[in-house]
Structure formats: C-alpha cells, structure tokens
Amino acid sequence: MADPIKLRATLQGDTTEIRMLMQHPMETGLRKDPADGKTIPSHFIQNFSLSANGKLLIEGQLNTSISRNPLFTFRAKGLTAGDKVVVSWIDSRGERRSDESNVVTG
C-alpha cells in the first residue's frame, strides 16, 4: 500500500486552506538507475480528487512533470471546523490511496 497522504485543512476567516502532500515517486520514465544504468519506468499519479463532506471540490489530472511527493495548496469557501475532507489518488499502475482529515480552526 502506498504511503499515506498528509492532509491539513485550516479555517482562516471564511476561507479554508487545504494543504495536501501525496507521497509518490512521480517517476518520469526518463531517469536512469545509477546502479545499473537501466531506465526507470514511469510511475506517477494520474488522477486525484479532493472533496469535503462528500462534495467534490477539486479534481486533478497530473503528468510526470509534477515534482516528487506532490504538494498542493488549495483554498475553498463554505467549509466549517469539523468538516470532513477526503483526498484520493490513482496512479499509472492502478495503485490507489485515500485519506481524510477534518477542518481545524487556524
């Protein structure tokens, strides 16, 4: 199973800042293994979704040009402390991960 998503949703005034770190190698398929000189196959997150209280907020499609361990910061209105925030991703090999957190007051 893939490493957990680090997720933090902080309410500041009427806006919630959501920081999510999806732990993933995001291999481009262009890099060579320094040990044997063989090309490392591409392996990257292709789709993710961020939802709050079961309603979709952001849906993303990614490519290999997103940095290793992708970190995204988003902002949303209409959330309150305690709301459940869920992030899910699926990568180019069909591996998946989903984690959740609650909105906290900043």
Binding region for another protein (CB under 8 A)? 15, 28, 30-31, 46-52, 55-68, 70-79, 88-90, 96, 98
Amino acid code (one letter) for 59:
E
With b for 16 or more beta-carbon neighbours within 10 A and e for fewer, the 46-61 pattern comes to eebebbbeeeebeeee
Nearer to another protein, 38 or 67 (CB): 67
| Minimum distance from residue 35 beta carbon to another protein (Å) | 16
Nearer to another protein, 56 or 81 (CB): 56
Nearer to another protein, 37 or 67 (CB): 67
| Minimum distance from residue 106 beta carbon to another protein (Å) | 16
Q: How far apart are the C-alpha atoms of 3 and 19, rounded to whole Å?
A: 16
Tokens of 40: 């490392």
Q: CA 68 → CA 16, 27, 45, distances in Å? A: 25, 8, 10
Tokens of 16: 């919630």
27: number of CA atoms within 13 Å, CB side?
A: 13
Nearer to another protein, 7 or 76 (CB): 76
| Minimum distance from residue 91 beta carbon to another protein (Å) | 10
| Minimum distance from residue 22 beta carbon to another protein (Å) | 11
